Chain A
Amino acid sequence: MNAETEYVIETKDLTKRYGDVLAVDTLSLRVARGGVFGFLGPNGSGKTTTMGMLLGLVHPTSGEARIFGDPARHPATLRQVGAMVETPTFYPYLSGRANLTYFQGVKQRGAKADIARLLELVDLGKRADSKFSTYSLGMKQRLGIACALLGDPQLVFLDEPTNGLDPAGVVEVRELIRELGRGSRTVILSSHLLAETELVCDNVAVLSRGKLIAQGTIQELLRSHDTTRIRTTDDTRAKAVLAEVTWIESVRAEDGHLLVEAPAERVWEIGRDLAKRDIYLHELTPLHRSLEEFFMDVTGTDPTTGRTKE
């Protein structure tokens, strides 16, 4: 591992084609070290395929993927990484503890005491010696998270980690992910639960139909498409004036207000420009969109179902 590498993940023109289907299309992505990185996209957008290529499970058709600056699929690189991809899979005839012991053994990282600690961390201490085949979906998910944390990896992939968890479990896992992302460790969180993602992620990348369509901090992404609600002394004239301002993306009247889409950092200029024409503001309210609204706008799809927005 190159400790000096600024980016823990770098992909360049990464492409995966299954026959006629282009699952991932020339994806070029960089993930900086530290924090929680959200990997978002509707079902079938190429998130899991991309993770598969980074983890050496899927062979790219073309392009390049690097982790810590080294080729992603190299076994020595993967030993520095923890991963839970899709539904966690373990040996059904082994207990949770025996499964973790096995995976720690093949990974050759960490101490024996880590297993008990991790089982407690994911609240599986009492069922640690039960066979995996007897676990509920939530317990399987927790064991998957524990397994991903074996060897204290500096990069952790978690694919839909809250699947099957009860509400209390979801909160616990959310806290855990936040905790994991502190310091130099990087957590890659793949999810279609955008409200969850918004709460824990520092940076996100949005994929749609195999293509990267947006990347940045959540604040940047949401701010870049902010809407401002204004009410003026003369809305009809104000709409005409603002429609001619080049940096304003759109102006529309709605419910007795004007909704202005414009970069957040220039919103203050609205009041100035209107005042020059003797139009004065009664109200100027920045409307912050949720990540979900942003996602639906940029992907044109529902984040949960992946269906095209009506």
Chain B
Amino acid sequence: MSLIANLARWEWFKLRRRWMLWVLLVFAILFAQLAVWGGYFSYQNLRTTGGELTVPASLQSQQGRAPRTVACNDLLSGDAARMPSDLDAQVVAGLAAQCRQQAATLPARTERAYLGFTLPGSLRSALSIVQTLMLILLAILTASAVGIDYGAGTLRSVLTQGTGRWTYLAAKLATLLLLTGLGLLVALATVAISSTIATNIAGAPPAAAGSTAATWSDAATAYGKAWLSIVPYIALVTFVTVFARASAAGIAIGLGYYFAEQLIILLFSSLFSWFSQVADFFLVRNITAFTGGGGNAPIAGGLPDETHALLVMAAYTLALGALAFWLFEKRDVAGATGGG
């Protein structure tokens, strides 16, 4: 164990000198900020407009114009100066009726928007955005960290130092998992700061409308799930990189698989009814089910339940991880392959 801890320490020595790590962290932070500031501007928009309606081009008196939005506060104000002058009175009346219908849910929507960018709800919102991005960023980082030893041929130099094979790979993966956890924490810390600033700018909270607020415990659960969901994906990318002895293969599969799986499910589910049952054992689908089922978030329609998702993720992690370690241990080590 102390050998793995020492190797992990030196893995960090190498990783922290790579610009890629810091660029990926900046991306994660920027995307996390979207949750706060996107939520904040959405809240402000709801407050100032009372909700917006889109007017399709076909309902506009001047043909050939692009669809436009109108604010419900303008339509319901009764002030002629604030009414859209380029729309027929009949259309305006119809839109106003829609706004009156929506006005009933406006307090709840406003409150939900407020809770989305204020603590602790903002943490969960940020995690839901960052989680998908993290899979992609981690695929790049994992493939790069594992693949460089093949590309530069350094695996030979490392193993002759008496690191041991499985301990070296284990230390590498442990470092990546630890960095993922820390990276998420850093991103969430910046979210917490932005959230505090946005809350102060927003001023007094809207009147309570019975929306359920996320708790700190929900945020912690979402953090744990986001971190855990990355483990099988790291196992997948590690296996591909070790199998191909190239970081390029790991990056390609890491990025491609995420989108390919969704396309395959979409295509084959429409062709064969039984395919949705097969798809319930696909990796990304189960990751989505696992993280989407966290806290108070509703499970998206048709996704497997959380326990099923956890078991499938564990099976993928064990199978791909075991294959990666077996290949790493068993194969002879050659020179540099020239990849990154």
Contacts and interface: CB of A to CB of B under 8 A. Distances in A.
Q: Specify whether A and B are partners.
A: yes
Interface of A: 52, 55-59, 75-81, 83, 85-94, 98, 101-103, 105-108, 147
Interface string B140-158: 0000000010001110111
Contacts of B336: 87, 89
Interface stretch (B161-169, B186-194, B223-231): B161-169
Given A57-B156, A57-B333, A93 B18 contact: yes
Interface centre among A77, A101, A107, A147 (most CB of B within 10 A): A107
B7 interface: yes
Contact of A106 (B156, B163, B330, B332): B163
B216 interface: no
B140 to A, nearest CB: 16
A157 to B, nearest CB: 8
B162 A89 contact: no
B6 interface: yes
Contacts of A108: 6
Contacts of B330: 59
Contact of A102 (B13, B152, B156, B335): B13
B332 A89 contact: no
Interface of B: 3, 6-7, 9-10, 13-14, 17-18, 148, 152-154, 156-164, 167, 330, 332-333, 335-336
A75 B162 contact: yes
Given A55-B160, A75-B162, A89-B156, 6 more contacts: A52-B332, A87-B335, A92-B152, A105-B10, A106-B10, A106-B161
A147 B14 CA distance: 17
A213 B159 CA distance: 30
Contacts of B153: 87, 89
Contact of B157 (A80, A93, A101, A147): A147
B154 A107 contact: no
B322 to A, nearest CB: 19
Nearest to B19: A93
A94 B14 contact: yes
A83 B6 contact: no
B141 to A, nearest CB: 14
A58 B333 contact: yes
A59 B157 contact: no
A201 to B, nearest CB: 22
A103 B9 contact: no
Nearest to A92: B152
A75 B167 contact: yes
A146 to B, nearest CB: 12
B160 A90 contact: no
A75 B165 CA distance: 9
A107 B148 contact: no
Nearest to B20: A93
Contacts of B7: 106
A89 B152 contact: yes
24 contacts: A55-B159, A55-B160, A58-B333, A75-B3, A75-B162, A76-B162, A77-B162, A78-B161, A79-B161, A79-B162, A83-B160, A85-B156, A86-B156, A86-B335, A87-B335, A88-B157, A89-B336, A94-B17, A101-B13, A105-B10, A106-B158, A107-B161, A108-B6, A147-B157
A-B pairs, top 6 by smallest CB distance, nearest first, are A78-B162, A79-B162, A89-B153, A75-B164, A57-B333, A107-B161
Nearest to B164: A75
Nearest to A98: B17
A273 B195 CA distance: 107
A106 B6 contact: yes
Nearest to A147: B157
B154 A91 contact: yes
A86 B157 CA distance: 10
A58 B6 CA distance: 25
Contacts of B159: 55-57, 78
Contact of B9 (A56, A105, A107): A105
A56 B332 CA distance: 9
A102 B18 contact: no
Nearest to A51: B160
Contacts of A59: 330, 332
A52 B157 CA distance: 11
B13 A56 contact: no
Nearest to B148: A91
B152 to A, nearest CB: 6
Interface centre among A55, A56, A89 (most CB of B within 10 A): A89
A58 B332 contact: yes
Contacts of A101: 13
A230 B160 CA distance: 53
Contacts of B3: 75
Nearest to B171: A106
A93 B144 CA distance: 13
Contacts of B164: 75
B335 A78 contact: no
A105 B6 contact: yes
Given A56-B159, A98-B17, A90 B152 contact: yes
Given A57-B332, A91-B148, A91-B154, A85 B10 contact: no
A88 B128 CA distance: 45
Contacts of B161: 78-79, 103, 106-107
